[in-house]
Chain A
């Protein structure tokens, strides 16, 4: 069943529980300089009218329906999981060339210095396949970050799917 990450900026507080959930799930080794696959943002952005907008955002791989990183990878590490629809990878042959990072408008793929390979959020593919929620979603107390099936998403009438962001960006038709 295809799954969709949905992010609601009006419910987020950048509390970063999602990041902690991600670190816990993926054993992110901070001491080795590794970074969490998910990042939160708590920024004040000056708007055109001079007011300040407090942005609270959580972002990781958007699992774009038409993921530019897949085509960009010279070794073919990245692919769509046919079951979940997540953009997943096997980085055995990753050469650390960062082409995927260059292709990604969200900066999701990261270079992991400890082994010279690229890593990114895989949507907690195995968890979702086993009927669980992605770790970040599981850790969100506010309903800002959710992960639903495509069908549920359509029924909800939401327009906040992360996978649709790539289209909103106008990078593709």
Chain B
């Protein structure tokens, strides 16, 4: 009878447990979590704040009791793993106890970064990652006391906090340290458009602003003072400047790490029998061929499922790791595929605009490097599929069906041709 440990119980941990159980009815599965909640989706926090979903919906797989009984799991909640002997596959817990396993999955996820900047611990400064963060902000906003907001960090979560504020008619400013919005995903041309459109929705955006410190006035109002000397004052300040992987307990374990735990396509670490999946790991990015931490919900689930299957003795691979970011806020859709940082001036650029759609894409030869689209909504999957296919085989032309689907979604012929299709007219 196999004895397995899953460290961390989020999307990756849950899907791993499920994948194991589908293949192995006997295996002992021990779950270790530093919380006492069911697997939750960090992406849903701002939707809870908005009132779009009830509390329970942040836990898409059900309650802990349901999951534990359905998958027959031993759940050790509020029980963080503090160390790992990778060679012997033994974990250490806070009380000093140890347990050895036949296989281990590390799925500890990531946490919001709160750097050691003065003032980040002031009341009224908050982050947005956990369900507790969501509960706090919702209660705060529901109280009606918040009259203005400042969001530091034009990240995927930052923009959703902006939405939470705007939908409650709370004036809000967005600042970011990068030269333009969503800079890891956008071309400057796209970003300027996004900023302009955001302004049109009443949100002012200020980029190139690094936070120096935050001050609190006697009346409780907060002022973020930037390194430029600019000052932004608001009732509340959200710090949404990024996440870091929860891998501190692996220090000195010998597990290979970059920004996260390095895994191969089978989600294996450098130690036999030890796997990692989800936001804590770095899988292979199929575009660059190098390891990259891409923390998105769908990846976490897929990676967890692959790791779980392999822990149960199967041989599965995860090969869909690619930089794709979707921002949907205030009836606005922005999507980026691929890495804008690898684009060069000599590359070929495609740009298109109509009343509904904006596209900017770059390719070198026939290899698409990055695509930015605004307003493409339900056609994103078709483009993404074509993009991924192009990475795998840059010479391949689009198949007829994909061309038809793209056409049906209203993409212009020029773009379809740019992607590798050729359509008459």
* A98 and B378 contact, Cβ closer than 8 Å, known pairs A59-B405, A105-B384: yes
Contact status of A101 and B380, CB under 8 A, knowing A46-B423, A107-B409: yes
Does A110 make an interface contact (CB < 8 A)?
A: yes
Q: Are B326 and A98 closer than 8 Å at their CB atoms?
A: yes
Partner of A173, one of B305, B319, B403: B319
Q: Could you say which of B302, B404, B409 contacts A57, with CB atoms under 8 Å apart?
A: B404
| Contact B380–A52 (Cβ < 8 Å) | no
Query: Does B184 sit at the interface, judged by CB under 8 A?
Result: no
Q: Is A109 an interface residue (CB 8 A)?
A: yes
CB of A113 to closest CB in B, whole Å:
9
In angstroms, how far is the closest chain A Cβ from the Cβ of B15?
8
In the assembled complex, the CB of B171 is this many whole angstroms from the nearest CB of chain A, namely 24
B355 to chain A, nearest CB (A): 15
Would B405 and A109 count as touching, CB distance under 8 A?
Answer: no
Q: Which residues of A contact B379 (CB under 8 A)?
A: 101, 107
CB distance from A95 to the nearest CB of B (A): 5
Cα of A53 to Cα of B44 in the assembled complex, Å = 45
A44 at the interface (CB under 8 A from B): yes
Q: Are A101 and B378 in contact (CB under 8 A)?
A: yes
Whether A103 lies near B378 (C-beta < 8 A) is no
Give the residue among B305, B317, B326, B409 with the most A Cβ atoms within 10 A.
Answer: B326
Interface members, chain A 83-137 (any B CB < 8 Å): 93, 95-99, 101-111
Q: Is the CB of B298 within 8 A of A75?
A: no
B381 touches A103 (CB 8 A): yes
Contact in complex: A102, B405 (CB < 8 Å): no
User: Which A residues from 38 to 89 make CB contacts under 8 A with B?
Assistant: 39, 41, 43-46, 48, 52-53, 55, 57, 59, 68, 71-76
| Nearest neighbor of B46 in chain A, beta-carbon distance | A95
Whether the pair B424, A46 counts as a contact (CB closer than 8 A) is: yes
B335 in contact (CB, < 8 A)? yes
| Distance to closest chain A CB from B327 (angstroms) | 10
Whether A107 and B378, one on each chain, are in contact in the complex, defined by CB atoms closer than 8 angstroms, is yes
CB pair A53–B400 under 8 Å, yes or no, is yes
**A74 B424 Cβ-Cβ under 8 A:** no
Q: Whose C-beta in chain A lies nearest to the C-beta of B299? A: A71
**B contact residues, total (Cβ < 8 Å):** 51
Nearest to B305 among chain A residues (CB) is: A71
> Are B401 and A57 in contact, CB atoms less than 8 angstroms apart?
yes
Interface pick from B53-61, B97-105, B120-128, B250-258: B53-61
Write the nearest CB–CB distance from B311 to chain A, whole angstroms: 18
- Is B232 engaged at the interface, CB distance under 8 Å to the other chain? no
Is A30's CB within 8 Å of the partner chain B? no
The reply to whether A102 and B400 form a contact with Cβ atoms under 8 Å apart is: no
- Interface pair A41/B378, CB less than 8 Å apart: no
Contact B328 A98 (CB under 8 A): yes
CA distance A48 to B408 in the complex (A): 21
- Residue in chain B with minimal CB distance to A39: B408
Chain A nearest Cβ from B176, distance in angstroms: 22
Q: CB-nearest residue of chain B relative to A72?
A: B298
- Chain A count of residues within 8 A CB distance of the other chain: 41
A169 at the binding interface (Cβ < 8 Å): yes
8 A Cβ contacts from B1-49 to A: 15, 41, 43-44, 47
A170 at the binding interface (Cβ < 8 Å): yes
Residues of B within 8 A of A55 (CB): 400-401, 403-404
B324 interface hit (Cβ, 8 Å)? yes
Query: Contact mask B390-417 → A, CB, 8 Å, 1/0?
Result: 0010000100111111011100000000
Known: A105-B384, A173-B317. A43 touches B404 (CB 8 A): yes
Complex Cα spacing A93 to B43, Å = 14
Which parts of B281-332 form the interface with A (CB within 8 Å)? 297-298, 301-302, 305, 316-317, 319-320, 324, 326, 328
Q: Tell me if A32 is interfacial: C-beta within 8 Å of chain B.
A: no
Knowing A95-B44, A96-B328, A98-B380 are in contact, say whether A71-B388 is a contact too (CB < 8 A): no
What is the distance, in angstroms, from A60's C-beta to the closest C-beta of chain B? 11
Given contacts A43-B407, A99-B298, A105-B385, contact A75 B41 (CB under 8 A): yes
Extra A-B contacts (12), CB below 8 Å, given A44-B423, A45-B404, A75-B41: A57-B401, A59-B404, A68-B298, A74-B44, A76-B61, A93-B57, A97-B326, A107-B380, A107-B405, A107-B408, A109-B378, A169-B389
What are the 8 closest A-B residue pairs judged by CB atoms, nearest first? A76-B60, A105-B385, A41-B404, A104-B381, A72-B298, A71-B301, A93-B57, A46-B424
23 of the cross-chain contacts (CB-CB < 8 Å) are: A41-B405, A43-B403, A43-B407, A48-B397, A55-B401, A57-B400, A74-B44, A74-B297, A75-B44, A76-B61, A97-B47, A97-B328, A101-B379, A101-B381, A102-B380, A102-B381, A103-B384, A105-B381, A105-B385, A106-B381, A107-B379, A107-B382, A173-B319
Chain B residues with CB under 8 Å of chain A are 15, 41, 43-44, 47, 52-54, 57, 60-61, 297-298, 301-302, 305, 316-317, 319-320, 324, 326, 328, 333, 335, 377-382, 384-385, 388-389, 392, 397, 400-405, 407-409, 421-425
Task: Using CB atoms and an 8 Å cutoff, list the residues of chain A in contact with chain B.
Answer: 39, 41, 43-46, 48, 52-53, 55, 57, 59, 68, 71-76, 93, 95-99, 101-111, 169-173
